[in-house]
């Protein structure tokens, strides 16, 4: 639910030319935005997952897979939010609240994250009960890692070109 990257390009607004004129690549700018999202949201997600694993007395393998999944999901959400904001930027706002609370990129990012979680829930309901917790979590970790890697590659190649054209 923490949408740090989803409005991050839009928040540059009319000052976007400043980051475009810096002597850094577009990928470095995007990595900075991803790093901030990760720094803000990964520690609480990691801590909550750790506490959940302790309270539920999860097996060691399940606990490790849960922790890995939570970190990868944070990375996926960060990359997805940035991708969507590059495609749906709102650079003509008069108040920062519009860019953060009323932008299409934040809404689409939030719905996309919920959609991913809903698909994982359906996957567990139809497939995970048969596979078992460990195997299903491993599958989720692999899918999340692949999706995050694909999103990061998109940002590195196509995303920085879109940023330069805004």
> Do the beta carbons of residue 65 and residue 50 sit within 8 Å?
no
Mean pLDDT for the stretch of residues 122-132: 88
> Do the beta carbons of residue 119 and residue 76 sit within 8 Å?
no
List the structure tokens of 14.
Answer: 């009319």
Query: For the chain, what percent of residues have pLDDT higher than 90?
Result: 66
**Band of pLDDT at residue 155, cut at 50, 70 and 90:** very high
Residue with tokens 């108040």: 95
pLDDT (tens digit per residue) in 98-117:
888 888 999 999 999 999 99
* pLDDT averaged over every residue in the chain: 91
Asked if pLDDT for residue 157 goes beyond 90, the answer is: yes
Cβ neighbours of residue 105 under 8 Å, at least 6 residues apart? 6, 7, 9, 10, 81, 84, 85, 87, 88, 89, 90
**Band of pLDDT at residue 3, cut at 50, 70 and 90:** confident
pLDDT (tens digit per residue) in 22-63:
888 989 999 999 999 999 999 999 999 999 999 999 999 999
């Amino acid at each position: 639910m923490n949408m740090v990257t989803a409005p991050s390009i839009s928040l540059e607004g009319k000052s976007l030319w400043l980051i475009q004129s810096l002597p850094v690549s577009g990928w470095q700018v995007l990595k900075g935005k991803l790093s901030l999202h990760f720094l803000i949201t990964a520690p609480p997600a990691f801590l909550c997952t750790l506490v959940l694993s302790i309270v539920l007395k999860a097996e060691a393998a399940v606990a490790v897979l849960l922790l890995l999944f939570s970190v990868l999901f944070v990375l996926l959400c960060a990359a997805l939010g940035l991708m969507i904001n590059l495609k749906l930027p709102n650079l003509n706002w008069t108040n920062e609240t519009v860019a953060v609370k009323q932008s299409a990129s934040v809404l689409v990012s939030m719905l996309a994250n919920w959609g991913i979680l809903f698909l994982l829930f359906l996957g567990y309901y139809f497939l995970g009960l048969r596979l078992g917790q460990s195997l299903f979590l491993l599958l989720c970790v692999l899918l999340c890692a692949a999706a995050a890697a694909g999103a990061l590659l998109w940002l590195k190649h196509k995303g920085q070109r879109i940023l330069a054209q805004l």
